[in-house]
Amino acid sequence: MKTRLIFSILLLVSGQTIAKSIDSPTGCLGITPSAAYHRCWVDTATEQKNIYEQSFMTYLDKIKSAINENYNIEDVIEHARRAKTQWDNFIIDDCTVEASLWFKESPAYYDGYYLCLTQHYSKRIAYFKKIF
């Protein structure tokens, strides 16, 4: 019980940090925990995933324009796509582990899962913007 309370506090604090760092018009932390709070995290994670996918496509375009005839562009693009697929699988596993501290199918499980996804997507978006 004490562990869950501590984790709840950590989740709230990390959620505040993430909500401040993502491009969310309202942030989810101002909402009382409820169905609306859960919906906010789902929507925020979905929005971040869309931005992440767009950022990846822009990243590929920048790679294509930066590479000259001395490189095998097909190999570079293939490796970038493979790395993305592996990273996508990693974050699903990582966020499932984090969410598994809560009872499966509970609101806290899903809130933790989507909060984790949001954090990972935000980090990867920043990486794609910084790389070129």
51 vs 100: CA distance, rounded Å: 26
pLDDT for 132: 66
pLDDT tens for 41-99 read: 899 999 999 999 999 999 999 888 877 767 788 888 999 999 999 999 999 999 999 99
Mean residue pLDDT across the chain: 80
| Ramachandran region, residue 92 (left: φ > 0; alpha: ψ -120 to 50; beta: rest) | alpha
Residue with tokens 């499980």: 109
Prediction pTM value:
0.73
Do the beta carbons of residue 115 and residue 18 sit within 8 Å? Answer: yes
